[in-house]
Amino acid sequence: MTISHFFLHLALSPRIFNGFSLRDLSTTIAVLALILVGWYALNRWGLSVYPDDPSAGGEYTVIRWASDPNPARTEQMALFNRLYEDKKVRVVLDPSADVQKILTQAAAGSGPDVFDIYSYATFALYASKGVMVELNDYMREAKLNFDDFWLHRRNALAVPVADVPAEADEYERFRIFAVPNNVTVSVTFLNRSLYDAVQRERQAQNLAMPPLPWNHWTWWDYVLLCQALTKKSADGRRYETFGSGGAGFGGGLNNFIYQAGGSFLNDDGTEIALDSPAGAIAAQYLYDLVNTFHVVPSAEDQSAQTGGGGWGGQSILGLYSAGKLGTILIGRWGLIKVRREARFTTEIYPMPRYVPYEEWERWMSDPDIRANPSLRDGPWGEISETGRHRGKAGEMGGRVTAIRKGTQHEREAFYFLEYLSSPDFNNLLTKDADAFGSRKQFSERYFSQPDPEFPDEDQHRSALLDAMEHPVAEQAAAYGAAFDITRLQGALGTNLINAAYQPADSTARQTYRFLGRMPDQSAVSNPTVGQAAVTEMSVRMRESLAKAKRNRTLSSRSHAFDLLGIAILLGAIGVGLAFYARRQRAEMDA
């Protein structure tokens, strides 16, 4: 008996409904219906359990945007939906742009319509996998000029076309696969409230306070400031604050290497360039920030700190927002969380620039120059325009956005990319502190004058304009090795922070005068740790790059001769077997 037959039998059974009138049955059904309707209404409009239908019953085409769940995304999507109301297109958030997820879904012909890409290495991977729609025709039709975007983000947007005449236009010289979403260069966030509190404490003890940052300050000025902002508890058993967030969010090791005049890779990504004097200097500086000057938390120290909640809660940014860090090296996009959660004043300054320690020590040894940094002289000094900008560099990163190949809504998806390039989006993004807009002109216009809605952030403008003038393009390894090399870059930074490298020379010593905890003290380090670190990691990187090159060569070369050889071999075996079989028959016949 089926379930439907059971209930029919039950309904017709006189024993069940003996004495139960039709009116009673109708009343019972009506009460149950009211309960169900009330429950649905409570969940639908009261508790909002059931999400709204963004397509409004099929009236709108819905575009899924894979990005991070940054709170700024809500208004960014709402503005698109208002501006493109006449196109009957709406965008909704897919709150994850995980690389493996995008690749897996693209292979299955599903997934988001548009997706964010967070690094040049990821863009290179997607380009090699063929998961992005080529945008040249759409860009030409929309009159979007490739040159409108930041020059230093070009490599993360398009692939150059080989053997194209020099006079060809940009749509012929490049295969364009993405447009910039936001653009970021690291700057220094300073907890000004903490600085003022420490300054009052020091004044009460007749101790000098390091000066506030300025646009041309150096690595070593940064150490002095971070030492002052690093505080232990009264019993000395734990850290209450650290002066710096270290290499978090790309603000550390990569930039240190560029500032010192080096790079991880050569220009086309085919060779490892890490084990250079500049690489060793940068690695040593990161190591010393943690293990010599003790102003950056190690992994153990960081886990012992309690950050804020929500998006980025226990990250370096979360620790800063919770007041546990005096400074952090990060893109302006971190201000989104700071605006919402921090209970202190944040000021923004440029990244400290590289100056050889010996030059800085010479300046500090002169009482007049020490008291007035504008008197710093020599090839790295602030007296000359060239000198005060020397040693500045910041890796330009950010999000770029592409359309998934195979989407059923390709043209509607391009409307969203067109929106990302528009003045409306650029102005909203910059005002919302989501780093800089995709087009430099709009960011420069915004920071050229105060924003009355954020009067306290007027101090930020000079530093942000300065940071825009010293960008370096992201690098990515060739031959499909970009992800492996990026992973090893991260491992290098982590190992330096956690003191995992042995020095190249255990007897070497470097004395940092003027960088002790007190003015009359010095700090001592082994200066060959950085050299040992970049030497060891360069070996691993070269092995990874060589392996990728071999694999690329094998997969790309013609296999015609291999197939011909196999065919000849199989033919020879067949002839041999036939000859052997004929001989056997001849022997049997004999």
| The pLDDT value given to residue 169 | 86
pLDDT at 408: 95
Check whether 127 has a pLDDT greater than 80. yes
Residue 565 has pLDDT above 70, yes or no: no
Report residue 405 CA to chain centroid gap. 23
User: H or E element: which one contains 377?
Assistant: none
Q: Is residue 243 within 8 Å of residue 229, measured between CB atoms?
A: yes
DSSP result, 160-197: EPSS--TTS-HHHHEEE--EEEEEE--EEEEEHHHHHH
CA dist., res. 15 & res. 334, Å (int): 72
Number of domains in the chain: 1
Radius of gyration of the chain (CA): 32
Residue 94: inside a domain? no
The string of pLDDT tens digits covering residues 15-62 is: 555 555 667 677 778 778 887 777 666 665 666 555 578 888 889 999
Measuring CA to CA, which residue among 475, 421, 75 is closest to residue 257?
475
Q: Are 513 and 522 in contact (CB under 8 A)?
A: yes
Q: What is the pLDDT of residues 272-298, one digit of tens each?
A: 999 999 999 999 999 999 999 999 988
Residue 321 reports pLDDT greater than 50: yes
Per-residue pLDDT reduced to its tens digit, 420-448: 999 999 999 999 999 999 888 899 999 99
- Give dist(CA 175, CA 164) in Å, integer: 12
Rounded to an integer, the average pLDDT of 565-569 is 71
Helix (H) or strand (E) holding 397: strand 394-403
Instruction: Give the residue among 496, 555, 559 at the shortest CA–CA distance from 529.
Output: 496
Judged by phi (left if over 0) then psi (alpha if -120 to 50, else beta), residue 545 lies in: alpha
Structure tokens at 339: 């605006």
**261 in any annotated domain:** yes
Q: Which residues contact 173 (CB under 8 A, 6 or more apart)?
A: 160, 161, 164
Report yes or no on 377 lying in a domain.
yes
Q: What does the buried/exposed string (b/e) look like for 16-32 if buried means 16 or more CB atoms within 10 Å of the residue's CB?
A: eeeeeeeeeeeeeeeee
The mean predicted confidence, pLDDT, of the chain is: 88
Q: Where are the alpha helices (H) located in 108-153, listed in sequence order?
A: 120-129, 136-142
pLDDT confidence of residue 27: 78
- pLDDT tens digits, 168-213: 888 889 999 999 999 999 999 999 999 999 999 999 999 999 999 9
Give the per-residue pLDDT at 313: 53
Residue 539 Cα to chain centre, angstroms: 26
CA dihedral 131, 99, 175, 484 (to 10 degrees): -120
CB atoms within 10 A of CB 230: 22
Q: What type of residue sits at position 1?
A: M
CATH number for the domain spanning 198: value is 3.40.190.10
pLDDT tens, 242-263? Answer: 999 866 544 589 999 999 999 9
- Whole-model pTM? 0.84
Q: Where in the sequence is the domain holding 324, given as residue range(s)? A: 187-397+488-534
Distance CA 541, CA 536 (A): 9
- 471-473 and 394-403: which strand pairing? parallel
Using a pLDDT cut of 70, give the percent of the chain over it: 86
Q: What share of the chain is helix, strand, coil (3-state, %, to 5)?
A: 50, 15, 35
Q: What is the pLDDT of residue 210?
A: 95
Q: Could you tell me what percent of the chain has a pLDDT over 90?
A: 69
